[in-house]
Amino acid sequence: MRLEELALIGNCQYAALVHAGGGVVWCCMPRFDGEPVFGALLDETRGGAFVVGPADGSQGALRYVENTNVVETTFRGADGSFRVIDFAPRFIQHERSFRPTQIFRVVEPIEGAPRIRVVCDPVLGWSQSRPRRQVGSHHVSYLGFDADVRLTTDVPLSYLDGRPFALTERRHLVFTWGAPVEEPLAPLCHRFREQTVRYWRQWVKHCALPPWWQREVIRSALALKLHCFEDTGAIVAAVTTSLPESPGSGRTWDYRYCWLRDAYYALGAFRLLGHFEEREGFLRYLLDVASAAPALDLLPLYRIDGSSDLEERQLAGWTGYCGEGPVRVGNAAATHRQNDIYGEMVLALSPLFHDHRFAGERSEAVERLVIGLAEKAIAVSGIPDAGIWEYRNEWEPQSFSSLMCWAAADRAARLAERRDPDKAAALSEAASRIRQELIANAWSEEIGAFVGSHGGREIDAAMLQAVSLRFLGPGDSRLHGTVDVVKRELGLRGWLRRYRADDGLGTPSVAFVICTFWLVEALARLGRTEEARSLMRHACDDAVGEIGLLSEDWDPIERRMWGNFPQAYSHVGLIHAAFAASPDWSEVD
């Protein structure tokens, strides 16, 4: 099973991955960080799957219904052809988002009488044990879950054990967690499908787009939206856990949580797209998290309900994706010091005070939070930490963390100018001090670049962000030098690695997708437009396939995706890079 063979469906409550063979191979319910109901992605034998596919087990052609998160898989064989339509209902009902925890699967014959098979084999979470089945007249209930779990279908129940049968008419299957389906199935599936398609197409119509790379941006926007947990406003890093960063690396992390840093980058992408409800939701989430953090000692990540019980553990009995273990639940990064998060939270919130469209979200409480976060950033600047890459060896003062601490003080100073000039002056003075310290400690005249840690010699792709954060003027040779050194030293067949140092788990061997898009954005902002566009074309042609989804990592030698999938970070990077490298609409005929 390859990541390139998967498509994502979801509705901002849960998400699922559909394989080109017709199987739902990953789905946690009732929310992103729940236990898996279908987990074949991490154990093809015992993990459980929901398969609707050809009797011979062959693969079909995946595609998204244009401008939606509805997936169609078309199968063609000697006995005929058919398609499977998969979606998670999402639309507006009674002036609220309707997003039930339900998987809808519709099977349509196209020609002939193709023979298909249906297997619904859920598991009781990480135990991998099977629920007891209770058969009704047109449904099967799966007992042992914390909710009523049921498959309602007009497929003959005798065929649900995988026995092949001829598909001669449209069939419908609805897998539900919670309230079961109690109305006629065919019209319900048709209505929900039409309303879901309409919802996503209307959402896309409200997206701002760059003139170039529109299809890639639209798919990235749709994928990014599915990483938002609407109930609390959290934004998850990915909907999966334990997909290895590269073969044999042992780097298998659980990403089904809300990293504050990742959420900031996601909000920036939504702002470029012209969508703002995600920022409002995240503001509520952040206020809740901050209110529970004494002295604003924020963790790098939280569960999507804002809790912090994230003890990392390895699960026995799961073979792992392609046999690459271990399978992990929880994430030890929650115990790290990552000083950059204070800067990212200031940057996430400060647009509320500069963009009049957010006037209704401004409050003294939010302003106090922004100033408090900036003061926290000033206090921790230069203190050793795990940094953006969450190093698991001895910590050092990370240059990127100091850069974000500078950004926090700089942006907060501008905010304070209108209401508290003395506070603004203090923040501005701190920003100036951090800038000078960072230049003194992180700029290497010998290497010709800003390095990854104070006094170090290793190159770090995260320092490309000094360009977009306007740390120095766009004509400053130190920014150009950093870009050139990063490009040369971390380059891998037109892509970028994060760094080249041993991080406690070895040396990364594949490209980290967002870093290449950071390079595109940096080149564009430095006026090196043709370089930026050439790199953007290369990245999209090389790794963005027909489905349009991106993983965390890309192996440009084997031309294969690795890491958790889809990765919100990667799609955020693509969106930012596309806007930066595209011409203005006024320049396009």
- Residues ≥6 apart with Cβ < 8 Å to 188: 174, 181
Residue 213: CA count within 13 A, CB half-sphere: 29
Whether 449 is covered by a domain: the verdict is yes
Q: Which amino acid is residue 100, in one-letter code?
A: P
What count of residues does the chain have? 589
Whether 323 is covered by a domain: the verdict is no
Identify whether residues 213 and 163 lie together within a single domain: no
- Distance from C-alpha of 54 to C-alpha of 113, rounded to nearest angstrom: 11
pLDDT (0 to 100) of residue 224 = 98
pLDDT (0 to 100) of residue 588 = 84
Whether 322 is covered by a domain: the verdict is no
Identify whether residues 408 and 511 lie together within a single domain: yes
Q: Looking at the predicted structure, is the pLDDT value of residue 417 above 90?
A: no
Both tokens assigned to 252: 């298998």
Burial call 4-29: b when 16+ CB within 10 Å, e when fewer:
bbbbbbbbbbbbbbbbbbbbbbbbbb
Whether 576 is covered by a domain: the verdict is yes
Both tokens assigned to 379: 């206090």
Identify whether residues 73 and 168 lie together within a single domain: yes
- Distance from C-alpha of 118 to C-alpha of 310, rounded to nearest angstrom: 36
Q: Looking at the predicted structure, is the pLDDT value of residue 589 above 80?
A: no
pLDDT (0 to 100) of residue 459 = 96
Confidence of residue 393 (pLDDT cuts 50, 70, 90): confident
Residue appearing with tokens 């991490």: 42
Whether 423 is covered by a domain: the verdict is yes
Both tokens assigned to 373: 């976060």
pLDDT (0 to 100) of residue 394 = 83
162-207 tens-digit pLDDT: 999 999 999 999 999 999 999 999 999 999 999 999 999 999 999 9
Both tokens assigned to 482: 């950093």
Q: Average pLDDT over the chain, rounded to whole?
A: 95
- Contact yes or no for 306/221 (Cβ under 8 A): no
pLDDT (0 to 100) of residue 294 = 85
Q: By percentage, how much of the chain surpasses pLDDT 70?
A: 100
Nearest to 388 by CA among 340, 435, 453, 345: 340
85-116 tens-digit pLDDT: 999 999 999 888 999 999 999 999 999 999 99
Identify whether residues 233 and 96 lie together within a single domain: no
pLDDT (0 to 100) of residue 252 = 96
pLDDT (0 to 100) of residue 420 = 87
- Residues ≥6 apart with Cβ < 8 Å to 469: 403, 404, 407
Whether 245 is covered by a domain: the verdict is yes
pLDDT (0 to 100) of residue 363 = 85
Identify whether residues 213 and 98 lie together within a single domain: no
Residue 453: CA count within 13 A, CB half-sphere: 18
How many structural domains does the chain have? Answer: 2
The DSSP letter of residue 499 is: B
3-state class (DSSP) for residue 301:
strand
Burial call 199-219: b when 16+ CB within 10 Å, e when fewer:
bbeebbeebebbebbeebbbb
Identify whether residues 126 and 104 lie together within a single domain: yes
The domain in which residue 34 lies consists of 3-204
Which residue, 204, 222, 257, sits at the end of a domain?
A: 204
Question: Which CATH number do you get for residue 255?
Answer: 1.50.10.10
Which residue, 182, 204, 226, sits at the end of a domain?
A: 204
Task: Could you list the beta-strand ranges (E) of 113-235.
Answer: 115-121, 132-135, 139-143, 149-153, 165-166, 171-177, 228-229, 234-235
Q: Looking at the predicted structure, is the pLDDT value of residue 506 above 90?
A: no
Q: Looking at the predicted structure, is the pLDDT value of residue 504 above 80?
A: no
Identify whether residues 181 and 256 lie together within a single domain: no
344-382 tens-digit pLDDT: 999 999 988 888 888 878 888 888 999 999 999 999 999
Residue appearing with tokens 């958790």: 564
pLDDT (0 to 100) of residue 257 = 98
Which residue, 204, 230, 259, sits at the end of a domain?
A: 204
Q: Which amino acid is residue 271, in one-letter code?
A: R
Q: With helix as H, strand as E and coil as C, how does 215-229 read?
A: HHHHHHHHHHHCCEE
Identify whether residues 574 and 451 lie together within a single domain: yes
pLDDT (0 to 100) of residue 418 = 82
Identify whether residues 161 and 248 lie together within a single domain: no
- Distance from C-alpha of 39 to C-alpha of 44, rounded to nearest angstrom: 8
Identify whether residues 391 and 445 lie together within a single domain: yes
- Contact yes or no for 424/417 (Cβ under 8 A): yes
What integer is the mean pLDDT of 537-562? Answer: 95
Whether 582 is covered by a domain: the verdict is yes
- Distance from C-alpha of 570 to C-alpha of 554, rounded to nearest angstrom: 10
Cβ count within 10 A of residue 499: 23
pLDDT (0 to 100) of residue 545 = 86
Nearest to 577 by CA among 508, 500, 495: 495
What integer is the mean pLDDT of 555-569? Answer: 96
pLDDT (0 to 100) of residue 431 = 97
Whether 321 is covered by a domain: the verdict is no
Identify whether residues 504 and 407 lie together within a single domain: yes
- Distance from C-alpha of 153 to C-alpha of 137, rounded to nearest angstrom: 10
Identify whether residues 578 and 540 lie together within a single domain: yes
